[in-house]
Amino acid sequence: MSGNLISVYSDKVSKKMLENRALSGVSLTFDAGIINGIIGPNGAGKTTLIRLMASLLKPDNGEIVYFSNSQKQPFEKIKTETAYFPQEPSLYADLSCTEHLEFFASLYNLPENILRERSKELLEMTGLTPFAGRKAGNLSGGMYKKLGLCCVLLNRPRLLLLDEPTIGVDPLSRRELWELMYKLAGGKMTIILSTSYMDEAERCSKVHLLNEGKVTASGAPKAVLERFNAKKFEEIFLRERSNGKSS
């Protein structure tokens, strides 16, 4: 399967979390080789959907379907080529950037020469080379997130699932994280990310709008805005909220 692009399809997926219905019959296609954005306010169901695609949760109804080389694949077959990045990456405060990469390389069973090559590439790509010896606990919020990304990218995943990767970081770090994602998406990697920052919707190649666990719209950002006769994505969600209150 190595080298094949991976796409994902959610087929009428529903999921209840405690007493709340997080997702209700969600059907979406996440295209291969591009940045797919799941856009919505807090409580829209974004994190639940990302976790379902990472197989950390199981749907109550419907299914998550994975395709590689136009063939349907069980998650177990693409598991080793999938990376999941949570909102708050779990790093060790007393380990340096280099030590984190060494630790994750041991989990992935990467040879020493591959570790050296990829560590150098990732640290340079993220601008962390000057801070390779700094402990994670002493990194800024943006640098901490970038180190977490380095760790999950070390194994060269084909499918990268990012749950609100830019939340809680400063504007400059947000821009740098997006530049990194632009470098990654394409011929070898499919990126699916969630965000509650409406301005980030237009940075994606394709967006999927969620609100209260239901699909509002899906498509290229410009086409979605034109469909709703809106200039910004905030307008769409504000209208949804107003319609909900009026009904």
Model pLDDT, residue 246:
43
Q: Which amino acid is at 218?
A: S
The pLDDT score that the predictor gives to residue 239 is: 86
What is the three-class DSSP state of 31?
Answer: coil
Q: Is 64 helix (H, G, I), strand (E, B) or coil?
A: strand
Alpha carbon distance 61, 106 (integer Å): 37
Give the model's pLDDT for residue 112: 95
List Cβ neighbours of 144 (8 Å cut-off, separation of 6 or more).
89, 91, 136
| Average pLDDT by stretches of 10, the chain with 247 residues | 78 91 96 96 95 96 93 94 91 96 95 95 93 95 92 93 91 88 86 95 96 95 96 91 59
Residues 222, 35: Cα–Cα separation, whole Å: 15
Domain spanning 6-246: CATH 3.40.50.300 = yes
pLDDT at 2: 43
Separation CA 246–CA 28 (nearest Å): 28
Q: Are 97 and 133 in contact (CB under 8 A)?
A: yes
